[in-house]
Amino acid sequence: MSAVAGHQLVLGFEHRPTLGEESFLIADSNHDGVAWIDHWPDWPGRILAVHGPSGSGKTHLSHVWQRRSGARRLEAGELDQAFLEAWPGKGTALVLENGDRGVNETALFHVINLVREDQGFLLLTGREAPARWPVGLPDLGSRLAALTAVRLGPPDDALIAAVLTKQFQDRQLRVPDDVVAYLVARMERSFAAIGQAVAALDTLSLAERRAITVPLARRVLEASQNEFEWGDD
């Protein structure tokens, strides 16, 4: 067990619903982020930043918090003066995605201030930690550098295997361990790629009325990597 500010973290693989459609699995690569989400609403300064490479599960985790908090979701690039003028007021909870891919710096500066003044909450996501975001507004830079930030790592083999297995089970598909091992060793390291591979294998196995095997998995991966049409073995 480990803890963040006294909150116990359950290690191992644990299912957490997100959007009512998927499960979020806890592993070494993301358990610190989960601990901080669990620690809400006791976030220092009422703001948390979750960062990590593409495919690390930032969006999945932010959806978990959105469901708990009732937060509004917005791409950071959509933040503008009109949003500030329509600010909902006290207790506002907000998810701002991809804050390091271009944002109205003045608007973000005011959002950070408004969240604190109105006792709301803000969850920021980005590939880099906020302290490294390319901003030119000094006051915003100092605020970003002071935020509580937690990193999600890329999914490791164990997590990819667990997510694959769970998604196959969700579709009531019985898939041999050698197929899972084959996919883990060769597929793109992201949750989006896992979902696409599972859906493609389900579709192809149904269309051809055959079990999911390593040759079938090979065809799906080759099709996704090379944009080939599925053909016969």
Q: For residues 34 and 50, is the Cβ–Cβ distance under 8 A?
A: no
Q: What is the DSSP string of 6-54?
A: TEEE--S--EEEETTTEEEEP-TTTHHHHHHHHHTT--GGGEEEEE-ST
Which pLDDT belongs to residue 14? 44
The Cα–Cα gap between 83 and 47 comes to: 19
Nearest to 156 by CA among 26, 11, 17, 15: 26
The Cα–Cα gap between 203 and 136 comes to: 48
Q: For residues 4 and 35, is the Cβ–Cβ distance under 8 A?
A: yes
Which pLDDT belongs to residue 227? 53
Please give the structure tokens belonging to residue 212. 């999911």
Which pLDDT belongs to residue 165? 92
The Cα–Cα gap between 98 and 210 comes to: 41
Q: For residues 111 and 96, is the Cβ–Cβ distance under 8 A?
A: yes
Which pLDDT belongs to residue 17? 37
Read off the amino acid at residue 28: D
Please give the structure tokens belonging to residue 20. 């009512």
Which pLDDT belongs to residue 7? 35
The 3-state DSSP class for residue 200 equals helix
Which pLDDT belongs to residue 23? 58
pLDDT < 70: residue spans in the chain: 1-23, 226-233
Which pLDDT belongs to residue 98? 95
Q: What is the pTM of this model?
A: 0.74
Nearest to 125 by CA among 146, 151, 143: 151
Q: For residues 103 and 122, is the Cβ–Cβ distance under 8 A?
A: no
